[in-house]
A and B are shown apart, each in its own frame.
Chain A
Amino acid sequence: MSIDTSTELGSDERAASMQAEIEGTRRAGRGDRFFKGLALASGCLVLAILALIAGSALYESWPAFQQQGISFITSSDWNPNQNQFGALAFIWGTVLSSLIALVMAVPVSIGIALFTTELSPRRLKTPIGFVIDLLAAIPSVVYGLWGIAVLAPNMEPIYQGISESVGSVPGLGWLFGPPAHGTSFMTAGMILAFMITPIITSLSREVIQTVPRQQREAALALGATRWEMIRGSIIPWSRGGITGAVMLGLGRAMGETIAAALVIGSSAQITTRIFANGDSMAAQIANQFAEASGVFRSALIGLGLVLFGVTILVNVSAQRIIHRFDRKMVRS
């Protein structure tokens, strides 16, 4: 270092030269400022993209909203040839197929999560994790292909059997009454259930793993069975986090496009009968957008905007619930 070469200088000069040395040059700090700027810009990109999505979709769909007004989401009269765009039937289709998916996926997902955390021998944990990863890795279009080529034709006779046997029973007929088609709300819900099981499972598992050991031991020390321990300590402790996981699954199911587009039946109608043909917002966009123009196209982009809004709403609530759960964990 140059400290020793400056020995001959007076102490003031020495101080001045050291001051100059440790101050460095403006150039030296430039790398830091540049890098930080780059990183910040990349972070801002996320906000920019989200804002642009909302902005561009609003701009492009404006003609449809202008023409249709509030009936865009309250009317089910969708007839592009007569410039009528009431999207309620698609919204209904999205909601119904997602609900069916949840009803099937939630018990299975939580079951798998509890199996791996509470029941499974150690050597089974990794293989099960791998199976869940694989389930998540299969592209949705492959589920769709399997759904339309294998699942739908094979389910049709089963649906018909159910429909014939309980369709006339009051109450049950409301859900299972005819018509019964292979491509239907039910088949779409099943395919969606396969697709959202991995996300609900892995998030629930993470949440359940945070339950402190003392909580489990406290219950077991009181003579609880495994099930009583799960109900008494694990479920109350992780309820918030699991709710968040389920809502994220719901968001995923509502936004899923391709598999639903292939198996839902592409016939928009508002019905509670789950074996009937239906259509969803995402499926309608996927199937019609290529041929659409003019107000029809802006109506489809409007559907996209509604879908965007609803999924964002569901996701934000899910994140809030999980966030609150995290904070509770930190406090305790």
Chain B
Amino acid sequence: MTAPLDLDEVPPSLVSSMSARRKFKNGLATTWLVVSVIVALVPLGLVMFYVIQRGSAVFGIDFLTADIPVSRRALGPGMGPAVLGTLLITGAATLMAVPLGILGAIYLNEYGGKGRFASLVRFMSQVMTGVPSIVMGLFIYTVWVLTFGQSGFAGALALACLMLPIVIRSTEEMLRLVPDDLRQASFALGNRKWRTIVTVVLPASIGGITSGCMLAVARAAGETAPLLFTIGVVNSANPNLFDGPNTALSAQIFRNAQIPFTGPQDRAWGAALTLILLVLILTVAARWVSSRFAMKQA
């Protein structure tokens, strides 16, 4: 990293010889940069404020565990089925996407390298990160739901498709940071390539991989569009991912936000607070894991 340039070190005589126009332009540009940062803080602050203020009014154990009222206008908690659904669906998606994504990254970095096919896969996985999440939902709807019906698992499939390229990209970047020395040392001990990868390369990069995967999970947990037509709706908890419709926090927020009555609006804010807490815990934990890992490397 280059050291930040310190303009204060420019001798005062030089600075004062500048024309007023140049000074004004420079000041204007500096203002632009500072204002940009403040402008970005405003929506973040406002959204957090409203979610905490309106969400905490209904948030509690009852809210997290009770069934969703059958009458959509009813007042009071809860979101229990959605909490369970989000955890189960996101968990199942993680179980599918993380191993496959890590294997895909291993292919790209350890086997494919700069080859033409690997470059194609790498390019396509970057393109795939840009596929709109609603398109993933439609995709799973056409290839899965039309045949097997709506279920938590269908939602998990859609989320897994969304996570896969994110996991591949972040993992490949981490694998690329593993020095070649370590691989060579392992080969020179008569270690086979696959065991070198499993026993040396992956352990050396596990911190970064974990943090990348957690960010992918956080992103998936907050997604709504892929779940809209894949999981359906229920008002009571459905612990079976493979049988019958399910629900999730994000889908409940979307439904309730559109109903202009106090009960559903409150439930939407409560669900938003729950979801944000879940996502924030994952994001902060990912930052913590990666900073711990960075310290260990140094």
Contacts and interface: CB of A to CB of B under 8 A. Distances in A.
Q: Verify whether A and B have any Cβ pair under 8 Å.
A: yes
Interface of A: 28-29, 31-32, 34-36, 38-47, 49-50, 52-53, 56-57, 59-60, 107-112, 114-115, 118-120, 122, 128, 130-135, 137-146, 148-150, 194, 197, 201, 209, 212-213, 216-217, 220, 223, 225-228, 230, 248, 251-252, 254-258, 261-262, 282, 285-286, 289-290, 300-301, 304, 307-308, 311-312, 314-316, 318-319
B130 A251 contact: yes
Contact of A135 (B44, B168, B197): B44
B247 to A, nearest CB: 13
Interface string B44-56: 1011001100000
A256 B30 CA distance: 32
A318 to B, nearest CB: 8
Nearest to A248: B130
Given A43-B104, A52-B143, A57-B138, A308 B131 contact: yes
Q: Tell me what chain A mostly uses at the interface: helix, strand, loop, or mixed.
A: helix
Contacts of B4: 118, 120, 122
A53 B40 contact: no
Interface stretch (B64-72, B73-81, B267-275): B267-275
A146 B35 contact: no
Q: How large is the interface on B (under 10, 10 to 19, 20 to 34, 35 or more residues)?
A: 35 or more
A25 B272 CA distance: 59
Q: Tell me what chain B mostly uses at the interface: helix, strand, loop, or mixed.
A: helix
A307 B138 CA distance: 12
Contacts of A307: 132, 134-135
Given A47-B124, A255-B132, 7 more contacts: A35-B193, A36-B111, A42-B101, A45-B164, A50-B128, A258-B225, A290-B228
Contacts of B43: 135, 194
For the complex of A and B, 4 pairs with smallest distance between CB atoms: A111-B36, A139-B222, A255-B132, A35-B194
B4 to A, nearest CB: 7
B179 to A, nearest CB: 20
B39 A108 contact: yes
Given A35-B194, A290-B228, A282 B132 contact: yes
Most buried by A among B1, B118, B272: B272
